[in-house]
Structure formats: C-alpha cells, structure tokens
Amino acid sequence: MLKEIMEQPQALEKTLHQDRRKFTDIALDILRAGQVIFTACGTSRYAALVGRYLFAKVGRKFSDVVIASEFGYFADAVDKNTVVIAVSQSGETADVVEGVKLARDAGAKIISIVNRPNSMLADMSHHTIHLNCGPEIGVAATKTFLSQLAVFYLLTFSMINSFGKARIQLRDMYSKVAEALDCNNDRLNKLSHKLRDKNDFYYLARGINFAIASEGALKLKEISYVHAEGMPAGELKHGTLALIEPGIPVITICPTDYTYNETLNNAVEAKSRGAYIIAISDKESDIYDFWIKIPQVDELLYPMIAVVPLQLLAYHMAVARGYDPDKPR
Ligand code: BG6
C-alpha cells in the first residue's frame, strides 16, 4: 500500500495517456443524456462523487451517485435516455455489475471507468475508459482513486472542449502530489502515534472536498479499524456535533477554495466543543491544532491533493496500532 501511495505521481502520468476524441465523444453522450447516474462502491464511489461536483460546476450537467448495492431500487427510473457511469477499478465488483445489467436491460448507455481492461464491466459497457495506472495490489484503493479523479477531470473539461488544457493542468499535478507526499509523511507518522488510541475520528469538508472527507474516513476504517465518519461540514450542527467531546480528532479539509470560509467556521464549532482540529489546507490558521500543509492548486484540483495526506494518515495509524495495511481484515 505504501508503495502504491508513493508511486501516485507516476500512476497519474500513465493515466493521462488518453484519447482526446474518445473523451470528447463520451462527454457529448453525457451532455446529451436525459439523466446521468454514477454507480460504484467504496473508494470508487467517492471518486464518482468528485465527478458529480465537477460535472455540475464545469459541465453544468446535473448527475447523481447511486450506491451500487442500492441501484436496483432506482432501476425503474432508468431508461434509454439514461447514461450510467460505472466506476470500478477491478471492473469485477458484483454490486456494480448487477446494477449495470439492470441498466442495460432498461436501454441505458453504459460508460465504465476501470483499471483492468479485460474485466466483466468493460465487456458490458458501450464505452470503457481505462485508468492505465498499472495493477493495484493493495486492497485499500489509493493510486487508482487519484487516477479516477484525473479521468473525471479530463472528462469534465472535454464537455467544454478543453481536454488539452485539462491534461496540461494535470501534468502540473505530478510535482504537487509528490510535494504533498514528501512534506507530510514524517509528521503524519508522529501524529499517528499521538492519536493511535483515539476511537472516533470525524472528517469534515464541503462541496467537492466532501468526497475526500468520506474517502479519508473509509481509508482509516478499512486498514486501522478505527471508527471514522466523513461529514458535509454544514451538517455537523444538525446532530453529530453532540458527539464532539474534548480531544476527539476532527480532520477538516479547508483549502482556500470556494468552501474555505464556511468550512473554517464549522471547524470553530467543533473546536468550541474541545475537538482536536487537524486541518488540511494551503493556508495556516490559529484555529488548527495540527496543520497538514498542502500546495496551492486550482480549486477544482484540491481533491487530488487533499486525499494524499489522508492516505498516509490511515497507513501510519494502522502501523501505529500494530496492524498490517497490506493484509486488512
Ligand atoms: C471494496 C474495497 O471491497 O470494494 C474498497 O474494500 C473498494 O477498497 C471497493 O474501493 C470498490 O472496488 P472497485 O474495484 O469496484 O473499485
């Protein structure tokens, strides 16, 4: 897992070898669709959630993400004017395959985003986009998640005929991801030893970064077995705030993007209850108890940068708690 976290800049570079025309054709299918439904599980579902925010903000196309195991309950709403985007790095996840079968039977157009070309999902799709980032051995997805985000970024900008510009922006991300890996690894290792006996973590973010809060929580759960919850920061006060007690780690993803001010206010709400605020941001604040500095990037690219320290935190927490991240339960 650590090897795959560290090779993300290289994985990203491989993912960017995509066919411009293919992306433009798929982008047009999405724009022409009566409705667009993503279906995925786990980490891939959080990548799809980033895609949802990007499609809305840049492509001005609304879509929704349906949990693959719930897809059957929505199948009656799927028709020939529906585009279903199935996201699965293995291309074999049964819940996703089942949902796609139902969608095909309803006449929908199937677009899949997979890391394994000869997978079941690829065989069932009208269009397949390959991550090309090399096999992912770790059960907990890391490099394939970053590659999925890059694919969504390319697909979104293809909607406004800017595939080339998007690819150039993503090429600039190699060094930014490498920077996010290098400048935090040791500090996160130390932080993990400080927090290893904590039993509840909350991850807060807004907008496009909310998907990363959820992904960060999933990583912690699946390899270090600590309860964690990703929350839309604005939702904290509607109940969950009651659970925030002194010393509880609250990880706040608050880059200086369009969500910055409100997210910082939500961190203050948690801090007023005694939370230990761990902030992922390009900008310092005395609200933070622990600052994980990330480089400044275009505001739609922060998800690709913010996820890196959360992968490392989950990895180091697992090791600090005496577990093997490569053999999760
Ligand atoms: C789960 C894994 O079983 O499947 C997650 O524990 C993964 O890490 C999820 O994200 C989805 O897998 P895939 O291959 O469909 O992306």
- CA nearest neighbour of 10 among 184, 175, 183: 175
Ligand 1: centre distance to CA 165 (Å): 31
> Does ligand 1 come within 6 angstroms of the Cβ of 140?
yes
Which atom of ligand 1 lies closest to the CA of 40?
Answer: 15
Walking along the chain (329 residues) 10 residues at a time, the average pLDDT comes out as 97 98 98 98 98 98 98 98 98 98 98 95 97 95 98 98 98 96 94 97 97 98 98 95 97 97 97 98 97 96 98 98 97
Ligand 1: centre distance to CA 70 (Å): 15
Contact 310, 230 (CB under 8 A): no
Which atom of ligand 1 lies closest to the CA of 43?
Answer: 10
> Which residue's CA is minimally distant from atom 14 of ligand 1?
90
Looking at residue 117, what is its pLDDT? 85
Ligand 1: centre distance to CA 88 (Å): 7
Ligand 1, residues 45, 67, 90: which to mutate, most atoms within 8 A of Cβ? Answer: 90
Ligand 1: centre distance to CA 151 (Å): 18
CA–CA gap between residue 256 and residue 205 (Å, rounded) = 12
* The two three-digit tokens of residue 143, written as one number: 């490099």
**Positive or negative, the Cα torsion across 302, 306, 307, 312?**
positive
Separation in Å, CA 60 to CA 53, 160, 198, 292: 10, 10, 41, 32
Annotate 211-247 with b (16+ C-beta within 10 A) or e (fewer). Answer: bbbbbbbbbbbbbbebebbbbbbbebeeeebeebeee
The residues with which 113 forms a beta bridge, in sequence order, are 87, 129
Q: Which helix (H) or strand (E) holds 279?
A: strand 276-281
> Does ligand 1 come within 6 angstroms of the Cβ of 156?
no
> How many Cα atoms occupy the beta-carbon half-sphere of 31 within 13 Å?
16
Contact 90, 116 (CB under 8 A): yes
Which residue has 């994985």 as its token pair? 11
Ligand 1: centre distance to CA 308 (Å): 18
Looking at residue 226, what is its pLDDT? 97
Which atom of ligand 1 lies closest to the CA of 93?
Answer: 15
**Angle between helical axes of 210-224 and 302-320 (0-180°, round to 10):** 20
CA–CA gap between residue 45 and residue 60 (Å, rounded) = 21
> Does ligand 1 come within 6 angstroms of the Cβ of 89?
yes
Any idea how long the chain is?
A: 329
Looking at residue 161, what is its pLDDT? 97
Ligand 1, residues 5, 39, 43, 96: which to mutate, most atoms within 8 A of Cβ? Answer: 43
Looking at residue 244, what is its pLDDT? 97
Q: Where are the alpha helices (H) located in the chain, listed in sequence order? A: 2-6, 8-15, 20-32, 42-57, 94-105, 120-124, 143-158, 163-171, 173-182, 185-195, 210-224, 260-271, 302-320
Ligand 1: centre distance to CA 194 (Å): 29
**Positive or negative, the Cα torsion across 307, 310, 315, 318?**
negative
Which atom of ligand 1 lies closest to the CA of 44?
Answer: 16
Q: Give the global pTM.
A: 0.97
Looking at residue 268, what is its pLDDT? 97
Which atom of ligand 1 lies closest to the CA of 140?
Answer: 8
Radius of gyration from C-alpha coordinates of the chain: 19
* The two three-digit tokens of residue 283, written as one number: 């900008």
* The two three-digit tokens of residue 58, written as one number: 């840049």
> How many Cα atoms occupy the beta-carbon half-sphere of 13 within 13 Å?
10
Q: Where are the alpha helices (H) located in 118-258, listed in sequence order? A: 120-124, 143-158, 163-171, 173-182, 185-195, 210-224
> Does ligand 1 come within 6 angstroms of the Cβ of 93?
yes
The model's pLDDT over 60-90, given as tens digits with 9 standing for 90+, comes to 999 999 999 999 999 999 999 999 999 999 9
What backbone torsions phi and psi does residue 64 show, to the nearest 5 degrees? -140, 160
Ligand 1: centre distance to CA 105 (Å): 25
